[in-house]
């Protein structure tokens, strides 16, 4: 029996965070091409795979046939807020350690 590949917590929260920030700044979600560039040149199928996992996890929704039809759900927004708080906390710890 093969295991279904999953994203790490950091990977999926970073991608949801990126989508949320892009939508806030530009008023719409990033395109698949823009997400591929953000993922350092990953293929479109790799982006689609990540999006499918995030949709299954309940962090995103996607409107079929709509360009830039990716939306961050309420669950995704809560996760992004917690992710940002943790990044800020770790950044502050790192600064204090220097």
Alpha carbon distances (Å) from 15 to 12, 19, 50, 57, 97: 5, 6, 9, 13, 28
Domain residue spans of the chain: 9-97
Distance in angstroms (rounded) separating the CA atoms of residues 41 and 97: 34
* pLDDT tens digits along 39-84: 998 899 999 999 999 999 999 999 988 989 999 999 999 999 999 9
Reduced to 3 states (helix: H, G, I; strand: E, B; else coil), residue 30 is: coil
CB 19 within 8 A of CB 73: no
Question: What's the chain's length in residues?
Answer: 98
Tokens 């939508």 sit at which residue? Answer: 23
Task: Record the pTM.
Answer: 0.83
Q: Which fold has domain 9-97?
A: Arc Repressor Mutant, subunit A (1.10.10)
């Amino acid at each position: 029996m093969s295991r279904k590949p999953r994203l790490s917590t950091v990977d999926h929260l970073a991608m949801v965070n990126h989508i949320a920030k892009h939508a806030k700044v530009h008023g719409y979600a990033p395109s698949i091409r823009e997400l591929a560039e953000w993922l350092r040149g990953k293929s479109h199928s790799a982006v689609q795979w990540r999006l499918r996992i995030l949709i299954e996890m309940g962090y995103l929704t996607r409107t079929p046939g709509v360009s830039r039809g990716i939306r961050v759900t309420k669950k995704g927004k809560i996760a992004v807020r917690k992710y940002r708080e943790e990044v800020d906390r770790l950044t502050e710890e790192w600064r204090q350690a220097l």
